[in-house]
């Protein structure tokens, strides 16, 4: 039961912003949107999460539409080290099972 839909892959130029879309049209009011990424064979790494408001931290920004049916992760200045698989996950606050899906493979090119 896939709760999110992401494009399978995208390319981005080094130094430019990378905008990663995610559709979650069946999200419920109490579900958060989380983003994790997995670089090569490393373990997944938390990036950011949000409920309704846009969020920003040192890694990225998360823009959630007003109807919460979709969101965009923004990497403001992509570097080669940002090449990874990015996972968009929706989760209740008291849930613990991350359902990773296939994610988006982002390739940052010099």
Q: Give the residues lining the site for other proteins (CB under 8 A).
A: 32, 36, 38, 41-46, 49, 51, 85, 87, 91, 93-103
- Shortest gap between Cβ of 67 and other proteins (angstroms)? 19
Closer CB to other proteins, residue 86 or residue 108? 86
How far CA 2 is from CA of 43, 75, 90, 100, 103, in Å, comes to 21, 24, 10, 9, 11
- Shortest gap between Cβ of 16 and other proteins (angstroms)? 26
Closer CB to other proteins, residue 94 or residue 110? 94
Closer CB to other proteins, residue 21 or residue 44? 44
- Shortest gap between Cβ of 15 and other proteins (angstroms)? 28
Closer CB to other proteins, residue 15 or residue 26? 26
Rounded CA-CA distance 39/57 in Å is: 19
């Amino acid at each position: 039961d896939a709760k999110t839909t992401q494009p399978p892959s995208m390319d981005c130029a080094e130094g430019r912003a990378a905008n990663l879309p995610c559709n979650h049209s069946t999200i419920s009011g109490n579900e958060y949107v989380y983003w994790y990424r997995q670089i090569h064979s490393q373990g997944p790494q938390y990036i950011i999460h949000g409920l309704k408001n846009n969020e920003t931290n040192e890694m990225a920004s998360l823009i959630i539409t007003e109807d919460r049916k979709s969101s965009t992760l923004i990497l403001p200045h992509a570097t080669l080290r940002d090449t990874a698989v990015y996972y968009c996950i929706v989760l209740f606050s008291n849930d613990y099972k991350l359902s990773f899906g296939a994610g988006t493979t982002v390739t940052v090119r010099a």
